[in-house]
Amino acid sequence: MVYQKNILLCVSGGIAAYKACALTSKLTQKGANVKVIMTENAMGFVSPLTFQALSRNPVYTDTFDEKDPEKIAHIDLADWADFVIIAPATANVIGKLANGMADDMLTTTILATEATVYIAPAMNVHMYAHPAVTKNMKQLEEWGYHFIEPGAGYLACGYVGKGRLEEPETIINVIQEHQKVDTFLEGKKLLVSAGPTREKVDPVRFFTNRSSGKMGFAIAEVAAELGARVTLVTGPTNQQVSDSHIKRVDIESADDMYNAMHEFFHENDIVIKAAAVADYRPKMVFDHKMKKQDGIWQLEMERTKDILHSLGQEKKHQFLVGFAAETKNPIEYGMNKLQKKNLDAIVINNVAQEGAGFGVDTNIVTYINKDGNEKGFARATKKEVARKLLYSIYQDMKDDQ
């Protein structure tokens, strides 16, 4: 699973940096394309030239050393990587990442990447057990970072205990196991909606909302990774799908969304309505731009069609999931929506909560199925949340059979 992958290896300043040399060599031997970032302290243990020779790629050590004037190096590396390994990861670099600090090439790149990040800590046994380090690792885990636990044994400081960087072969094996694509949605067809709608006022103006589409797109991409055949119906958004097998249908208004969802509804097994569809639209749409006038301009609004309710009335074999983005009494309103609209499950989030609102890369949700079974998912990347939601849906579908 590392063959032909772009792997960014980030080396921080610990004595275990010498093992990162062996890790670079083994990854390269397995056919991976490896690029290395080193902190200033890491260079006190190993020369950048060593990693350059082993990886056959330039080594990055300075945020301001731009090797290609047409690119910003840390952004380019962040986008280039299929996944990132921090090995060794010191208490210092773990603390920086957990607190959003970006003061060198390593931390700025990690904060900029959307690739999966694996962290292999290495430090003194007492440092590893310190409450601050434990808290920082827990925070990073909640955000979707993956830890490769250190081994126990004789440490460079003379202590014996947990804190030794795992062996390169073990690190690679752990990553390869994690990278194996689970295909529990193989053979399933999934329809998901995403983004906002736009309700036209005149040729210039429209009503919309703050939805970015990130959650719906994350669901579509993870479902495709899990083996599903995915149709994504999306309102206007800047999001792009990275999987060419996802069928994307672009719409604009609530009526467009209604028609598209009903068009594809009956051929799908799982239907997830994550889009933020307008509840109201202007009753009258003007053919020409409305000119500014003195006084108040009153615009009469009318209800749009309730897409989720209509799907709930028509569903037969489909597992239908709704989203409830609330700011007050989210569980109460979400449960009411679950029952009134004949859903199989509801995903509830308080968009006023930090890390769960529109436009951010993380989410915090509660999943409740029609039997009232409730699961809370702590703040994590939207892709991590999508994976947990899809697995919960899969389990509920199995229970219904």
The DSSP letter of residue 325 is E
Nearest to 359 by CA among 209, 213, 192, 196: 213
Question: Helix count (H) and strand count (E) of the chain?
Answer: 13, 20
Catalytic residues: 157
With a CB cutoff of 8 Å and minimum separation 6, the contacts of 341 are 306, 308, 309, 312, 322
Find residue 151's DSSP bridge partners.
164
Find residue 32's DSSP bridge partners.
none
Positive/negative CA dihedral, 351, 354, 359, 360: negative
Q: On the CB side of 160, how many CA atoms lie within 13 Å of its CA?
A: 1
Amino acid identity of residue 208, one-letter, is T
| Residue pointed to by tokens 């409305």 | 290
Angle value at C-alpha 50, between 47 and 56, nearest 5 degrees? 135
